[in-house]
Amino acid sequence: MQSFFQNRRFRRQLEKQIVVKHDKPDNVWTRERRYFYHEGEIQSEQRELDESEPARRRREHGQRTLITGPALHPRHTTRTHLERDGDVERADYDPEFQDDPHTINSLETLGGRVDLMLTGVERHRPGNGKPNGTPDWAADGTINGESVQKDRLVVVTFEGDCDLMDPHNWPVPRRLACTALLSLTAATMLWATTIDAVVFTPETRKLYGTDNFAIETVPTALYLVGLGIGGLFIAPISEVVGRNPVFIPSLSLFILFEMGAGLARSPAQRMVTKGLAGFFGSAPLVCSAGSIVDLWSRIERVYAFPMYAILSFIGPLVAPTPGVFVAEAHAVSWRFVDWMTIILAGIALSLFVLCAPETYSPILLHWKAKQLRRLTGDPRYRAPLEFKRVSFLRRLAHAMYRPFLLFATEPIIMVFTVYLSAIFIILYTFIAGYVSIYEKVHKFKPTQTSLAFLGVLVGVFLAAPFVPLAMKLVRRDILRNRSQGRDYSAPEISLYLAMFGAPAIPIALFWMGWTTRPSISVWSPIGSSVLLGYGVLCVFVSSYEYVAEAFQYHAASALAAVQMLRLVSSGVMVYVSEPMYRKLGIAWTLTLLGGIATVFLPVPYLLHRWGPMVRRWSRHAPSEEE
């Protein structure tokens, strides 16, 4: 599903790509065959095989053919393009197409006609029971060359660093705008987790028939549970049909169910609609990370993920402030908190429909192949997705159970699921204690308490100065690997931010737990919340980046598995945190959380050291040997 503007831009770019001459990319393994366009047919003349050292190195890569070319920007010097299968599992290919591919890098004309540039991988078309590459013999005993030529398919790929259809090669402002839109959408989904959690008025008590704090938080808890469970079912679809066909319907349904929550006349109606809103709102949270992998190269994601995370965290940390002001305002109903969420989601949906481009490479290549067939009249151009030997429904079913498979069998997913669940249990329990800490101990008004949430937000922004340091370390590791002849960089280099921030979490919890007293300045708990925000942001960014890098072709499914337990457990803690503070007291509740944070403190350091060994146990995450 293309946005309105992308549909126009995509066709123009491809038409320009076909009729404008391109320089031949360097170091591309080809059959050195010149192709020219003549009366609707692609003809060729044989040339000598390239025996240069770069070409020989390319042959060693087999199915994963490297395609490199003149870089448009220095950032590409640390990146290579690989033929991406996306969600295409090796078992889903027709066995007849498993022969060694050859990259076709150019289509040239004879006699000074307009040059063409079509990059692809040449594969044999399956014959009628014949082995791959079996020629047709003419009556005189010679090989029918025309039959052989027509018996070949051209698998369309990106033209390395020259191809502006590849999302990695889009202009930086455009990719930044896409990342900002993804962040806005994720922030809106998380905004809804806290904005109604602070709204307690006579009208809400009348709706629920009680003034029990825990009962009134049930819709928020169910919303978080919906966010966690929904990702398991929605995220895999984006790895089959693309990102936009998931974003747009999910946002539309989110708005409808959020509207139902705003109009609910009974507790049951509000609980059900909030849970379903969370279910469909999960798509932007898990698919956004996959889109960032689509948009940014490995080294650029060191900047892109923190940008996405910081902007996303603005939603839940800012939302309590307008929520409390709406609750105390007499001019509007408390239900306006739901309409504020709907307005933000409506803005995001409009931008997706009009402007947001599709970023998933297998789908883009599918569109490119269709347009090439239309523009050239040659039916042999095929995208990797078109080499499937299974039906769409089977591929969809396969994708749907992938998050459950990853969750049950992948040690990396298990580790990060437990780790992030513990961190977010701490965060939501910490935030749920603001009423006890600021209103009961420091005698704040609700509006003043809502402003205290901004301390965590300040800490989130304080993590930004550490990103360049992490970038420097990641670049150092990547260049060191390349100097040693290794193109693959281990995901463990993504853990530097977590190692910087993990110690801040237990320190902040113990600090707040044992300094929250009327005799100690209110700036002490506010300062500890700044430190907590910094630590949580660092751990969150590194964890998501690590999982996305380890399972990049299935990043959405992997992150859906991680997100499920994290958000479900957070939803449970929203319900039980208030009784914890009441029974244990502020000091011992936060001490308990600090103890949990201390137990998990070594995780990023241990994974940085032993992560490669853990990944060797994995079936889906690549290791250095692969």
- Top mean-pLDDT range of 60-64, 572-576, 583-587: 583-587
Q: Among the listed ranges 217-231, 350-364, 430-444, 462-476, which one has the minimum average pLDDT value?
A: 430-444
For residues 606 and 415, what is the distance between their CA atoms, to the nearest angstrom? 11
Residue found by looking up tokens 């890569």 in the block: 61
Q: What is the pLDDT of residues 476-498, one digit of tens each?
A: 888 887 777 766 678 888 899 99
State the pLDDT at residue 319: 87
pLDDT category at 288 given cuts 50, 70, 90 is confident
Q: What is the dihedral of CA 98, 104, 105, 109, to 10 degrees?
A: -170
Give me the chain's average pLDDT, please.
75
Considering the domain 170-356+388-616 in this protein, what is its CATH number? 1.20.1250.20
- 8 A C-beta contact, residue 26 and residue 37: no
CA-CA distance, 331 to 72, in Å (whole number)?
A: 56
Of the listed ranges 35-39, 167-171, 345-349, 516-520, the least confidently predicted one is: 35-39
254 has pLDDT over 90: yes
Which residues touch 106 (CB under 8 Å, ≥6 apart)?
A: 22, 24, 34, 35, 115, 116, 117, 118, 119
What digits encode the pLDDT tens for the residues 389-409?
Answer: 667 778 778 777 888 888 888
Name the least confident of 19-33, 107-121, 203-217, 344-358.
107-121
pLDDT, one tens digit per residue, over 35-69 is 333 333 333 344 455 555 544 544 443 333 333 33
Distance between start and end Cα atoms, the chain: 34
Strands 81-82 and 381-382: unpaired
pLDDT exceeds 60 at position 21: no
- 115, pLDDT greater than 80: no
Q: What's residue 506's pLDDT?
A: 94
pLDDT at 17: 62
What pLDDT score was predicted for residue 38?
36
Phi, psi of 516, rounded to the nearest 5 degrees = -85, 85
d(CA 201, CA 211): 9
* 3 state DSSP class of 246: helix
For residue 613, give both structure tokens: 């060994």
Give the pLDDT confidence score for residue 252 in this predicted structure: 95
Q: 530 and 514 in contact (C-beta within 8 Å)?
A: no
Q: Can you give the pLDDT at residue 624?
A: 56
- Confidence at residue 266, expressed as pLDDT on a 0 to 100 scale: 87
**What is the mean pLDDT of the segment spanning 583-612?**
90
More confident residue, 400 or 14: 400
pLDDT at 23 over 80: no
User: Quick check: helix, strand or coil at residue 388?
Assistant: strand
User: What confidence tens digit (pLDDT) does each residue in 424-482 have?
Assistant: 888 888 877 777 788 888 888 888 888 888 888 999 999 888 888 888 888 888 888 77
130-172: per-residue pLDDT in tens? Answer: 444 444 545 554 444 454 445 577 888 887 667 788 888 889 9
Q: Which long-range CB contacts under 8 A does 142-149 form with residues at least 24 apart?
A: 149/42, 149/43, 149/44
Higher-confidence residue of 546 and 89: namely 546
Instruction: Return the structure tokens found at 539.
Output: 């751990």
Q: What confidence score (pLDDT) does residue 107 get?
A: 29
Domain-by-domain residue ranges, the chain?
4-162, 170-356+388-616
pLDDT given for residue 151 in this prediction = 53
Binned at pLDDT 50, 70 and 90, residue 501 comes out as very high
Place of tokens 């010679």: 142
Residue 260 CA to residue 550 CA, distance in Å, equals 39
pLDDT number for residue 6 = 63
How much is the pTM?
A: 0.74
- pLDDT at 73 exceeding the cut of 60: no
Residue 528 clears pLDDT 70, i.e. is over it: yes
Instruction: Classify residue 62 as exposed, middle or buried by CB count within 10 Å of its CB (0-12, 13-18, 19+).
Output: exposed
% of the chain exceeding 70 in pLDDT: 72
Per-residue model confidence (pLDDT) at position 371: 84
Measure the CA–CA gap between 176 and 29, rounded to whole angstroms: 33
Percentages helix, strand, coil for the chain (3-state, rounded to 5) are 65, 5, 30
Highest mean pLDDT, choosing among 123-132, 390-399, 497-506: 497-506
Residue 189: what pLDDT?
Answer: 93
